[in-house]
A = this chain, B = another copy of it.
Amino acid sequence: MEYFPAPLEKLVEQFARLPGIGGKSAQRLAFFVLGLPETEAREFADAIVDAKKNVTCCPVCQNFTAGGLCPICSSPRRDASVICVVADPRDVAAMERSREYNGQYHVLHGVISPMNHVGPDDIAIKSLVSRVAKGDVKEVIMATNPDTEGEATAMYIARLLKNFDVRVTRLAYGIPVGGHLEFADDATLMRALEGRQDI
């Protein structure tokens, strides 16, 4: 027999399909939403539809934006001669939090992953190459994640960009600030040693 009425069961199912949300959590969330005042529940629903309708990809850097050029690409204060290549819009947010970077971005929306049937044409590599081909770009910083796929994607793109007069760099590897040597894995430690600098 059914334990919950159909509309509630359906809402639970919708929550359960979200990543990292199991059956129990989905129930908890559905019940929470059911307990909201009608206007707030509708706000939630509207936020989903609005985001889906109004969030687009910037035609230049492919980052999410609310229509047209994104604020970073359209800002005259950002250095258009440096492009930081990231896999995901969230990585842009992470880089921006560092307040250290003043160039532009290019969001790949994924990494090359033969296991998951994601090839070079499935992510925003072509648009990156055509940005570089225009000739105004001096440096491309590869900032994909330091895992196998991120690494392979960075290498693939670096090789593509060899044809252009552009410097291609990679974020430095090493011990995370505030980290402990004893918890650092071998590969990180090796890279940190290789990349050691004079002080």
Contacts and interface: CB of A to CB of B under 8 A. Distances in A.
A54 B1 contact: no
Contacts of A4: 64, 89, 93
A32 interface: yes
Interface residues of A, number: 54
Interface stretch (A17-25, A166-174, A178-186): A17-25
Interface of A is mostly: helix
How often does this chain occur in the complex, in copies? 2
Nearest to A19: B32
A90 B27 contact: yes
Contact of A31 (B2, B54, B89): B89
A3 to B, nearest CB: 4
Contacts of A13: 47
Contacts of A96: 1, 3
A11 B47 contact: yes
B47 A52 contact: no
11 contacts: A7-B47, A7-B53, A11-B47, A11-B51, A20-B29, A34-B51, A34-B64, A38-B52, A38-B53, A42-B52, A44-B48
Which 5 A-B residue pairings sit nearest by Cβ, starting from the closest?
Answer: A5-B66, A3-B93, A45-B45, A11-B51, A41-B52
